[in-house]
Amino acid sequence: GILYGCEREADSLFAVVDSSYNALKKLTANSKKPKANIDKITGSVWYVPGGRSTIGQMLTDAGADYPWADDEHSGSVALPFEAVLERAGECDVWLLRYSGQQPLTRQQLLGEHRGYNQFRSFRKGRVYGCNVEQSLFYEESPFRPDLLLSDFIRILHPDALPQHELRYYHLIE
């Protein structure tokens, strides 16, 4: 806002987002915390957001029990598949981002790595994907983290935001 002489408007927009985010965060403050896993293996490495990363913190703010919440990294942590399975294998929900022309299916996901069927969330059908080519995930979420937080809360605590329609993440069939 300063660069364009719109500091007042920028401050106003920030205040709206900040207020919305903090109000959403309070919705799950006293809720049971479902365990949530995020992303998927790329090649031979699974990059999980560190506990101090934006996504790691956002999962905590959404009322998730995030397996890497105590990790001190502010970026991604590169792990082998087995380390993720050991720590997140019993997660209630799995959230992943992918890039594709079509919606990802559980069968396609399993075709990418047979080991995914060892995850409780996969077996229970609680896998949600965000197709970054078909959504505005990267374009919007840095400026409107409250919109992404709404998706996380709706998935993790469906009763907390029953009217919210998922914007980025959708159940993988």
Q: What is the pLDDT of residues 45-59, one digit of tens each?
A: 999 999 999 999 999
State pLDDT tens for residues 90-132: 999 999 999 999 999 999 999 999 999 999 999 999 999 999 9
Q: What angle do CA 10, 14, 20 make, to 5 degrees?
A: 150
Backbone torsions φ then ψ of 54, nearest 5 degrees: -60, -50
134-138: average pLDDT:
97
Which 3 state secondary structure label does DSSP give 57?
helix
- Give the integer Cα–Cα distance in Å for 102 and 122: 20
**CA gap 158, 45 in Å, rounded:** 31
